Chains A and B, each alone.
Chain A
């Protein structure tokens, strides 16, 4: 007996039965797909991925070359497997021998970083393939199927594809638990399999400060869980950024202030506000101290470093959940409030801090994202600020307000994946419609995407990957595919196969429901 009666009754009506989708295992579903009956064989010995003659990228584009190899291995397994087979056989007309990759834009962006404006659309016909960016390789590899003898084939297919939303992110939290680099990298790999293009690195928070700053090394020396084993060195960060770049993923770092900063205080004296108990300092500390010039000197230096270490055009500045009690207790702050005529409104003090911080960051030529409270509290924002909506309940109202004020926005409220529950909660994430709020077409255009958040209170390297995947895949399709892709049964059928493909590629993505994969997870 595995379910109590209530569950049982639900199961009897809702038990999913796997059936093959006409779209096979494609995930997220491309914008336009036509799969014909005509099938071509793929032989590992003769198949090549090559640059098209007219492509603006060539062999010197290491990004594409390494992607070719990665996808060749996904499709055919490691080269080792082929040692035994001699290939004297001539390819016959039913063989597909070449995938031509044609980068059509004049600038292939090979050595650049993906940016918020990168074009990820692509179109391809088999044999002749136009590819404008990385994404199509993943799609191509998903079209390859294996029969029971292990032979690979692919149907003649025409795909024209582009993402619905530009910003498709995943937030990982490396402060509440340290995440070893290996875990981050393997999740970047998985993000690419799901066409996720932003890694939102919530790198520091109250609990620990694992970012090793060159300018302020004492921040991690004192503020990390461990100064050597639980830090991200500059080399680590570089590795993450490059690994992400090769997969077309932006790395957006978040340095959340003025709240969520307990760990900063350990290595940076006088940065946090001393709390008072009556007329004496209590020994504990609150948010960043907004009334000292030294605070802003520190932030200026710190964010200058961040702006050079992280190449992305955006930095996430946090700004959420500021607790005013400590500020209220501090006599110096009270005096400052009076001087500034803030009255008793501490959100004005918060705005004062954020405003100054935004000016600092703006001077580094970066754009910024902030959590929704910053907007709610009426802080003056640059027009290109991205407001990140996370508070559940009435997030549609918030989306409506933010876009009415003319700001671009991304949505996370319905996608807090750290909240787990029994059963197929991926369906809940899948059914979200990000543009389901009151507003004009202009307003809706301001929604540039969304993010699935996996906060770290209960997550570390032991459980992160199976908890994130394939639940985040549901979000990935919502953000990539057309608005009308909402058939939950078809999604179940494709996602079942997609999760098995992730498992076969070595990712411990958890199951959707009772079933099996041809190649089960081997990494036990």
Chain B
């Protein structure tokens, strides 16, 4: 039962997406083009996030530690 209501909810969410971006009105090949473009963009953004965000977070963490601490971690070694 939960799976069915979950599926219905996801289908309803998909319908809302279609209505807001007006892909409800598009012909099938236009929909294909639009979704391909969107999914490509989304995948690229997620991949960039996966590669760069951990590095940025560790660097920021060390910067703030250096700013507020200034202790024995002067010679900090960067983990590759």
Chain B binds chain A: no
